[in-house]
């Protein structure tokens, strides 16, 4: 029996029509036209006609908003590229610190968020004034490699990232759901930017090679005027694409979270077992203590990223237990690191580095314990995913506050 006849005979059997479509979608589509022509009054076929031939229409208002977002993205990407190139010139002249390059990118991404989210003046003025104060203060610091100055350079991007989050959340900056969306945005942004950057590197390699064939070395010129400009502008473009719900990054992000969480768990277990077997001591080995903290921050980032991609259904999955195990290991690592830095403070005295490490470990440990308690409640079916996400999103300003303390206050006292 051909598909035409089967469609006609199963007009009152929606389950069979669905099975036919899923089994032979192309044959079903080709035969549907004939069946629809023979039965133009069939309500069942009318629904299928809409399903197979539906084309979403974009309203003039929506098209105008999309056009406005694209134009704003283009202008801000251009400004980001130009600003980064100018800042790089002054960095080469050693007139300003290299960390100023962050002001060639993050303020323009923040401006994109503020403009397209129609944020209230209070939010706009807060973001703009804090960015301005940060830039002025940074360049009032002496160009020297003291510990407090280096710490300020390291913590400033975190503070700027939190400001970009304020711009992203806009008028809903108090909403945990919107803050969670910002964390998801960061994961998707990283995936998309890395993908486009790899394509850019391939293009750069091909370009270098082509000019070498004609005896020209354009490496320095190309890096200064194309690579730098493109890297900065690409950040704004990636922010625009992710904000416009680009499906590429959104479809890949959950799978990356599910793949990397167990891999990180296995790697971390192997690392800790190895550390214990070789007798490494973070209490006495300063470099090892720093690497221990690097591992901690990496685990925290992977865990938070995995949490943002967690489902919202009531059924518990293996990912929940993996995330909980990661949090437990992170708490253990943080506890050891915190004990080691307290030991070093009591034994060798207070320095800017030790105080900064103590502060960030304490901040992270408090967050980890909150997340762990929420996970225990989840696995005991005493709460839902929202409690875990609250433990992540409500704590974000604390990271920004500590980054601000290290950036703006430490250089005054150390």
SS3 79: helix
Q: Report residue 211's pLDDT band, with 50, 70 and 90 as the boundaries.
A: confident
- When mean pLDDT is compared across 162-171, 178-187, 279-288, the lowest value belongs to 279-288
Number of other CB atoms surrounding residue 167 within 10 Å: 27
The C-alpha atoms of residue 369 and residue 298 are separated, in whole angstroms, by 17
| Domain coordinates in residue numbering, the chain | 3-53, 60-243, 252-413
Distance, in Å, from the CA atom of 97 to the CA atom of 93, rounded to the nearest integer, reads: 10
Query: Do the Cβ atoms of 66 and 41 come closer than 8 Å?
Result: no
Q: Which two tokens stand for residue 314?
A: 């009531």
**Rounded mean pLDDT of 214-231?**
86
What mean pLDDT, rounded, does the chain reach?
Answer: 83
If phi > 0 it is left, if psi is from -120 to 50 it is alpha, else beta; for residue 170 that is left
pLDDT digits (tens, 9 = 90+) for 23-53: 887 777 777 777 777 777 787 888 888 787 7
Q: Which residues contact residue 147 at a Cβ distance below 8 angstroms, ignoring those fewer than 6 apart?
A: 351, 352, 353, 414
pLDDT band at 249 (very low <50, low <70, confident <90, very high): low
> Considering all CA atoms of the chain, what is the largest pairwise distance in Å, rounded to the nearest integer?
90
The pLDDT value given to residue 402? 94
Assess contact for 227 and 208: CB atoms under 8 A. Answer: no
68-82, 236-250, 347-361: least confident range: 236-250
Task: Give per-residue pLDDT as tens, 283-333.
Answer: 766 677 777 777 788 778 877 877 776 654 456 678 788 888 888 888 888
Distance between CA 250 and CA 239 in Å, rounded? 13
Q: Would you state the torsion angle of the CA atoms of residues 246, 250, 256, 257, taken in this order, to the nearest 10 degrees?
A: 140
- Beta strand residue intervals within 174-329, DSSP E: none
pLDDT top residue among 62 and 409: 409
- pTM of the predicted model as reported, rounded to 2 decimal places: 0.77
pLDDT at 1 over 60: no
Q: How confident is the model at residue 65 (pLDDT cuts 50, 70, 90)?
A: low
- Tell me the per-residue pLDDT of 264-274, one tens digit each, with 9 for 90 and over: 788 878 877 87
The H-assigned helical ranges of 279-317 are 286-308
Tokens 């197979």 — which residue?
52
Query: What is the predicted pLDDT for the residue at 303?
Result: 78
Q: For position 253, what pLDDT does the model report?
A: 66
pLDDT of 116: 85
> What is the reported pLDDT for 362?
93
Least confident of 95-104, 325-334, 403-412: 325-334
């Amino acid at each position: 029996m051909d598909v035409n006849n089967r469609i006609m005979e199963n007009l009152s059997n929606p389950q069979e029509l669905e099975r036919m479509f899923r089994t032979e979608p192309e044959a079903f589509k080709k035969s549907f036209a004939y069946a629809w022509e023979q039965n133009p009054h069939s309500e069942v076929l009318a629904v299928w006609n809409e399903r197979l031939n539906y084309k979403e229409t974009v309203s003039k208002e929506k098209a105008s908003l999309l056009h406005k977002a694209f134009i704003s993205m283009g202008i801000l990407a251009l400004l980001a590229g130009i600003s980064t190139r100018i800042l790089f010139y002054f960095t080469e002249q050693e007139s300003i610190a290299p960390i100023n390059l962050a002001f060639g990118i993050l303020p323009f991404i923040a401006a994109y968020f503020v403009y397209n989210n129609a944020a209230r003046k209070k939010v706009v003025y807060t973001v703009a004034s804090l960015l301005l104060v940060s830039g002025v203060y940074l360049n009032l610091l002496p160009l020297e490699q003291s510990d407090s100055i280096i710490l300020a350079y390291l913590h400033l991007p975190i503070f700027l990232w939190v400001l970009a989050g304020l711009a992203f959340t806009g008028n809903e900056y108090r909403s945990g759901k919107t803050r969670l969306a910002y964390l998801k945005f960061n994961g998707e942004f990283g995936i998309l930017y890395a993908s486009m950057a790899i394509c850019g590197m391939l293009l750069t390699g091909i370009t270098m090679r082509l000019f070498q064939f004609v005896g020209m070395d354009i490496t320095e010129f190309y890096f200064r005027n194309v690579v730098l400009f493109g890297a900065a502008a690409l950040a704004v473009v990636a922010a625009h694409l992710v904000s416009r719900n680009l499906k590429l990054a959104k479809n890949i992000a959950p799978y990356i979270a599910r793949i990397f969480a167990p891999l990180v768990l296995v790697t971390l277990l192997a690392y800790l077992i190895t550390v214990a077997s070789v007798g490494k001591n973070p209490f006495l080995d300063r470099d090892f203590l720093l690497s221990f903290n690097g591992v901690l921050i990496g685990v925290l980032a992977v865990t938070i990223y995995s949490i943002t991609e967690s489902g919202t259904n009531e059924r518990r999955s293996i990912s929940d237990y993996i995330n909980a195990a990661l949090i437990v290991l992170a708490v253990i690592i943080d506890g050891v690191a915190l004990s080691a830095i307290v030991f070093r403070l009591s034994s060798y005295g207070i320095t800017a580095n030790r105080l900064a490490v103590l502060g960030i470990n304490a901040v992270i440990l408090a967050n980890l314990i909150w997340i762990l308690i929420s996970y225990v409640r989840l696995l005991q079916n005493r709460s839902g995913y929202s409690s875990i996400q609250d433990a992540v999103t409500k704590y974000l300003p604390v990271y920004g506050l500590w980054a601000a303390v290290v950036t703006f206050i430490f250089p005054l006292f150390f």
